[in-house]
Amino acid sequence: MSAATEFALGLMVQRTPVPLRLSDYRLICFDMDSTLINIECVDEIADATGKKAEVAAITEATMRGEIADFKESLRQRVALLKGVTEADMAGVRSERLQLSPGAQALVQACKQAGLKVLLVSGGFTYFAEHVRGLLDIDFVRANVLEMKDGVLTGAMVDQPWGDICDGAEKRRTMLEVASLLGIAPAQCIAVGDGSNDLPMMAASGLSVAFHAKPRVRAEAQIAINQGGLDRLLEVLR
């Protein structure tokens, strides 16, 4: 691996020629939590039960790659959400969730250049579908929290594609959507911040780390360490 070079302040580029053309790509795939949006939703939901610190510590260790089994990590965290109400969830969505700086500008530029947009998240559909509406995203895959009588049970609901959207499922989803679009993986951009994003980033034509964990920054072709998501447009002309 060659050392990264600073393309501009807070914008690192390695192992790829620049500038690149946005029109060379046909699909851009985003992680959600701490990438397209400013929060880790599972941590904020846990605040309603007084367990935010406990859940956040597991999330941080998982995103850094210190906990390798994402599925078990997520099950542990979701179990701690038992008793959270739908009203609590709505409060997180309305009061804490914000789009990351530059998210709207980057998505709009991609759409104008003819790219489709995929949100693929180890988080939850409750928030992912909200973000889909805000950004007019084409495809979404995320996990479903089980709720009974307006209260979280501490479990998740299996879906037709599988049980939990982990790193392997993120990669598979990106490749599945690419296949449906009739494009090669080399025509995909993958943007993320945590270790569970690395499988799809490795399979993509261009991997982008956004305010990411050290391992992810080291393995990505482009690392945005300062500023918003739209800084990718400084490299992709």
Q: Among this protein's residues, is 230 annotated catalytic?
A: no
**Residue (of 218, 181, 220, 222) closest to 25 by Cα position:** 181
* Of 24, 33, 158, 163, catalytic: 33
The rounded distance, in Å, linking the Cα atoms of 62 and 235 is 29
Under the banding of pLDDT at 50, 70 and 90, the label for residue 18 is confident
Flag whether pLDDT at 3 surpasses 90: no
* Of 24, 31, 69, 158, catalytic: 31
Under the banding of pLDDT at 50, 70 and 90, the label for residue 2 is very low
Q: What's the pTM value of the predicted model, to 2 decimals? A: 0.95
In the sheet with 151-157, reading across from the earlier edge strand, the strands are 5-8, 11-13, 222-224, 206-210, 188-192, 27-30, 116-124, 139-148, 151-157
Q: Among this protein's residues, is 33 annotated catalytic?
A: yes
Flag whether pLDDT at 1 surpasses 50: no
Dump pLDDT digits (tens) for 156-199.
999 999 999 999 999 999 999 999 999 999 999 999 999 999 99
Residue 32 contacts residue 131 (beta carbons within 8 Å): yes
In this prediction, what percent of the chain has a pLDDT beyond 90? 92
**Residue (of 171, 172, 217, 175) closest to 193 by Cα position:** 217
Domain residue limits, the chain: 5-39+99-145+156-234
Fold of 5-39+99-145+156-234: Rossmann fold (3.40.50)
Q: Which residues pair with 29 in a beta bridge?
A: 118, 190
Flag whether pLDDT at 213 surpasses 80: yes
Dump pLDDT digits (tens) for 30-48.
999 999 999 999 999 999 8
pLDDT at 25: 97
Out of 5-14, 55-64, 167-176, least confident range: 5-14
